[in-house]
Amino acid sequence: MALTLKQFKNCRILRNHKIQKEDLWIRNGKIINPEKIFFDEKTKADIQIDCRNAIIAPGFIELQINGGFGYDFSYSDDTVAKGLLSHGVTSFCPTVVTSPKEIYHKVLRKIKKRAGNEDGANVLGIHVEGPFINVEKKGAHPDQYIRNFAMGFETVMETYGTLDDVTILTLAPELVNSCDVIKELVARDVVVSVGHSMGDLKHGEAAVSCGASFITHLFNAMLPFHHRDPGLVGLLASDKIPEGKTVYFGIISDGTHTHPAALRIAYRTHPNGLVLVTDAISALGLEEGKHTIGQFEVEIREGKAFVAGTNTLCGSIATMTECVKIFKEATGCSTEYALEAASLHPAQVLGISDKKGTLDFEADADFIFLNDDLDVLQTWIAGERVYFKPT
């Protein structure tokens, strides 16, 4: 049976770092080159879709999200995967914060990499954020479960039980035995991120030389920038990074976690490595008040999430769409850059930018329709519409 050929007309496509007037052609869940259709197959589209001058951009990819819509990933990833579609997220890494060993052994076996559809976004693998972090930069992580690498990589496996569906792992690079652990993780195709750390720049550079390639929520839960030792922030301008390697960094542009001036500093210092993340928690999409996340309660006050009874921020409740808009306004960057910071760049972190985060030919047909205000109008996964904003 012939596969359905779809032609998207009257649209503006983000391709090759530019938004340009062009048709988009889809078949079998992939973006295809129309020249083959015109000159080789000499055929026409089975279905034509009028985009009404909307922007078509790659779907957003979320590398750090702890939950949403009333659930964290200790309980359900299905509800979150479904809810993210309306916010333009086509792929994500469910993030599990510092937890008891029993929780890891249960959750890391339950959440599996899977293809997205109308029931939810693609699951690209789990991001385990902890428990191998520094207690002095624990943030909202429960300190009674924080661990060190006492037995090296053996401690890692004993803690998690499995790494089969783990894609990213956040650790503090100053911990003893961290370099050996990083090397083993990278050998197993796990992206190592440094964060929740008291580490200085040398700790960060050593971690990168061992294979680390990402920084978890830059500026948050790490030593502040100091002119004599810039800490992990200094990796953005380090001259000790191996040639040809890019150190990427997540940054939360929710209007709360990172000041607009800090967003501008990061953007101007190392634009190629910047990745927008929400760090959203289970209270995303919920009303103000107290809610449970992980092992303790959080409280939503005035649009911000705190550890209940304190003034300690414990995660964002912003959507990726909001983060893109806030980042663009704060930095004055182009629309193209803001969108790629939430799509192409996270795909590059995971080494999948030939398939995700792009509208190049042969890439997966995961994309979104946006208006000029960057509101999400439609979400598509594998060439099928999975969300449509009511008008």
Active site residues: 279
Whole-angstrom Cα distance, residue 375 to residue 380? 15
Question: Would strands 384-388 and 67-68 be described as parallel, antiparallel, or unpaired?
Answer: unpaired
140 has binding-site annotation: yes
Q: Is 228 a known ligand-binding residue?
A: yes
Q: Which candidate, 358, 346, 356, places its Cα nearest to that of 250?
A: 346
The one-character DSSP state at 228 is S
- The answer to whether the beta carbons of residues 16 and 55 sit under 8 Å apart is no
What's the CA gap between 327 and 347, in Å, rounded? 19
Sheet containing strand 18-21, strands side by side: 18-21, 12-15, 55-58, 367-370, 376-381, 384-388
Q: Give the C-alpha separation, 24 to 3, whole Å.
A: 16
Consult the annotation and say whether 223 binds a ligand. no
Determine how β-strand 71-72 pairs with β-strand 67-68: antiparallel
Q: Is 129 annotated as a binding residue?
A: yes
Amino acid at 315: G
C-alpha distances out from residue 108 to 126, 208, 272, Å: 8, 26, 31
By residue count, the chain amounts to 391
Distance of CA 293 to the CA centre of its chain: 19
Please check whether residue 153 is in contact with residue 180, taking contact to mean a CB–CB distance below 8 angstroms: yes
Tell me the binding residues. Answer: 129, 140, 196, 217, 220-221, 228, 257, 313-315
Tell me the binding residues for substrate. Answer: 140, 220-221, 228, 257, 313-315
